[in-house]
Structures are given as structure tokens and as C-alpha cells.
């Protein structure tokens, strides 16, 4: 079969056909996303940021707004409203809890620790049986009181994040609490800290120095270890070093890219976003907003 050669007039007619619109709006073959693509974006965004499916009103509003102006600023505004909602804070804290406690929960960890203390520490011998199965409750012995105060602070993590606490302060709260280190060796604590919050397995010297700080200096005031060119004497020093490090900021950016785009950031992306984080108290919500409002996220 021979394909006819189109003359100039025929080519002009064909090109003109490419500019026809569907319902007078969407260029055929153009860059304007279809309604189905926009709806898919709205549903995925809502699920990613809140952990739940959107209602029809949210989807319709997102489609209408993107139908008027389809750009990163509009997508960012839609995402901002979701990040400002309590549901985002709940999802974020739940994921932090999973990283800190290996998929376990605050309640389960404290139930285990309080149960051990309640039955083995002489200071708690006078405790009555726990009410409602709460091993941390109904007893004011000093060892349990410390756990109760820690658990109360973790129980408010969602509300605190929603009220403006930084993401790094919430993550630090979880690794400061007893369940992160009470049942592990210093080496195990160091390993968990690197795996969960620094984005890589520690090298041998890194683990040794971090473990030494977990254990604490033998002589008060003397350094126990060296990490990222900073000396530390105890666990509090170790957390200051970790959460104030460039390594932590880069790991936080990398975690956002993997969570929402399914890939590692490029060197340029990593440098740009990590440099934009507060070195003393980083918060990744702006990084999340930039990623989920990108064309790459929209088109996935």
C-alpha cells in the first residue's frame, strides 16, 4: 500500500486539526492534563498527606482550581491546606514512631517497660495491680513516674506537630524517650539511630563512637566519642550532634524524596533542599510541599 504524499495545503489542514479542542478547552495532544489525570493527582495527594481517601468535594475543588491555573503554585496551595490539617501530623508522627520503634507503638513499648519495672524494681513493690491493663498507671513509684511523663509527652506529639513544632523536634522526642534505648545495647542504639534517622548504616568507627556516647564517659566531663568532628560525653550530646548535622538534614531530604517520589534526590536537589533547612531545628514540611507540588509528582 502506498502512502500518499501530502501537499502543502493538506499539511496545513492536518496541523490545524491538532489545535482542535475537546469541549472547547483541552488541546488534543497538548500539555493540558485531562480531568482524569487531575482527579488522580488530587486523590493521591490526599492519601499521601492524610492517610485517607478524599471526599468528592475535595476532588471537585482541586479539579476546578487546577482547571483555572495548572501550575506548581496552585498544587502547592492545595497541598498546604492538607499539611496544615491534623491528619497530616498524625500520619507523619505514626511514620516516625514506626522508624523509632521498629513498627511497634508507644503504648506497647511503655506497657512492656512499665511491666518489667513494676515486677522487678523494689521501689515499686507496693504497687497495686495495674488498672485497665495499663502497667504504667495507678502507681506513683519513682521509676514508673518517669515513664509516665515520657509517654505523656509522646502522646501529645501529633497535636504539637500540628501546632507548629518542627519535624526534627518530634523525631528527637522519640529517640530521647526510654523505649528507644532501654532494651538495646549501646551498639544497638547507635545502629538504630543511624538506620532510622541518618539514612545509612554506620561505618565501624561511627558506630563505636556513637555507642560510646550512648554508654557515657567514664570520667564526668570528659569526651566519650567523636562524631562528625564533634566530641560528645553522653547520649544527650550524641543527639545534639546527630540532629544538628548536615548528614541528618540530607537524610531528611532523602527520606522525603523516597516517600513521595519513590527515588533518591539528585546531588543538585539534595544540596538545594538540605541547604534550605534550618541547621539548628530543621523542618521538612517545605520540602514535602515542593516535592508534591512538582510536575514529576503530578505525572506519576
Count of the separate structural domains present in the chain: 3
- 222 in a domain, yes or no? no
Residues 78, 108 share a domain: no
Residues 167, 119 share a domain: yes
Please check whether residue 261 is in contact with residue 267, taking contact to mean a CB–CB distance below 8 angstroms. Answer: no
Q: Can you say how many angstroms the Cα of residue 191 is from the centroid of all Cα atoms in its chain? A: 19
**pTM for this predicted structure:** 0.86
Per-residue pLDDT of the chain (300 residues; tens, 9 = 90+): 444 444 444 433 443 444 443 344 333 444 678 889 999 999 999 999 999 999 999 999 999 999 999 999 999 999 999 999 999 999 999 999 999 998 899 999 999 999 999 989 999 988 888 878 899 988 889 989 999 999 999 999 999 999 999 999 999 999 999 999 988 999 999 999 999 999 999 999 999 999 999 999 988 889 999 999 999 999 999 999 999 999 999 999 999 999 999 999 999 999 999 999 999 999 999 999 999 999 999 999
Please check whether residue 175 is in contact with residue 100, taking contact to mean a CB–CB distance below 8 angstroms. Answer: yes
Chosen domain end from 22, 50, 84: 84
Please state, in angstroms and as integers, the Cα–Cα distance from residue 161 to each residue in 107, 116, 141, 275, following that order.
19, 31, 31, 22
- 51 in a domain, yes or no? yes
Query: Whats the size of the chain, residue-wise?
Result: 300
Residues 140, 75 share a domain: no
- 156 in a domain, yes or no? yes
Q: Which domain holds residue 268?
A: 247-291
Residues 113, 66 share a domain: no
With a CB cutoff of 8 Å and minimum separation 6, the contacts of 50 are: 82, 85, 87, 88, 91
- 67 in a domain, yes or no? yes
- 194 in a domain, yes or no? no
Residues 128, 175 share a domain: yes
| 41: exposed, middle or buried (Cβ count in 10 Å: 0-12, 13-18, 19+) | buried
Intra-chain end-to-end CA distance of the chain, in Å: 40
DSSP state of 250: H
- 196 in a domain, yes or no? no
Chosen domain end from 183, 207, 234: 183
Please state, in angstroms and as integers, the Cα–Cα distance from residue 79 to each residue in 28, 48, 122, 251, following that order.
28, 10, 53, 22
Please state, in angstroms and as integers, the Cα–Cα distance from residue 78 to each residue in 40, 83, 87, 167, following that order.
14, 9, 15, 20
Chosen domain end from 158, 183, 208: 183
Sign, Cα dihedral of 58, 64, 68, 71: positive
- 201 in a domain, yes or no? no
- 223 in a domain, yes or no? no
Amino acid at each position: 500500500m502506498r502512502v500518499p504524499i501530502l501537499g502543502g495545503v493538506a499539511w496545513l489542514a492536518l496541523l490545524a486539526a491538532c489545535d482542535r479542542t475537546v469541549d472547547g478547552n483541552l488541546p488534543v495532544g497538548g500539555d493540558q492534563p485531562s480531568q482524569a489525570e487531575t482527579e488522580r493527582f488530587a486523590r493521591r495527594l490526599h492519601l499521601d498527606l492524610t492517610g485517607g481517601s478524599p471526599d468528592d468535594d475535595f476532588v471537585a475543588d482541586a479539579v476546578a482550581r487546577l482547571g483555572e491555573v495548572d501550575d506548581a503554585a496552585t498544587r502547592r496551595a492545595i497541598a498546604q491546606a492538607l499539611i496544615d490539617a491534623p491528619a497530616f501530623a498524625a500520619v507523619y508522627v505514626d511514620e516516625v514512631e514506626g522508624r523509632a520503634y521498629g513498627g511497634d507503638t508507644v503504648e506497647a513499648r511503655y506497657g512492656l517497660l512499665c511491666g518489667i519495672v513494676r515486677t522487678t524494681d523494689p521501689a515499686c513493690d507496693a504497687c497495686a495491680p495495674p488498672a485497665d491493663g495499663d502497667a504504667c498507671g495507678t502507681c506513683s513509684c519513682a521509676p514508673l513516674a518517669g515513664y509516665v511523663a515520657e509517654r505523656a509527652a509522646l502522646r501529645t506529639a501529633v497535636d504539637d506537630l500540628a501546632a507548629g513544632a518542627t519535624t526534627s523536634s518530634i523525631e528527637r522526642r522519640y529517640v530521647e524517650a526510654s523505649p528507644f534505648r532501654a532494651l538495646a545495647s549501646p551498639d544497638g542504639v547507635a545502629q538504630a539511630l543511624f538506620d532510622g534517622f541518618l539514612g545509612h548504616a554506620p561505618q565501624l568507627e561511627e558506630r563505636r563512637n556513637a555507642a560510646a556516647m550512648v554508654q557515657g564517659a567514664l570520667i564526668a566531663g570528659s569526651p566519650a566519642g567523636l562524631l562528625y568532628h564533634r566530641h560528645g560525653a553522653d547520649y544527650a550530646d550524641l543527639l545534639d550532634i546527630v540532629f544538628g548535622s548536615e548528614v541528618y538534614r540530607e537524610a531528611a531530604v532523602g527520606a522525603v524524596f523516597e516517600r513521595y517520589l519513590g527515588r533518591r534526590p539528585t546531588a543538585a536537589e539534595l544540596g538545594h533542599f538540605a541547604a534550605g533547612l534550618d541547621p539548628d531545628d530543621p523542618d521538612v514540611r517545605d520540602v514535602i510541599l515542593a516535592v508534591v507540588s512538582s510536575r514529576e509528582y503530578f505525572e506519576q
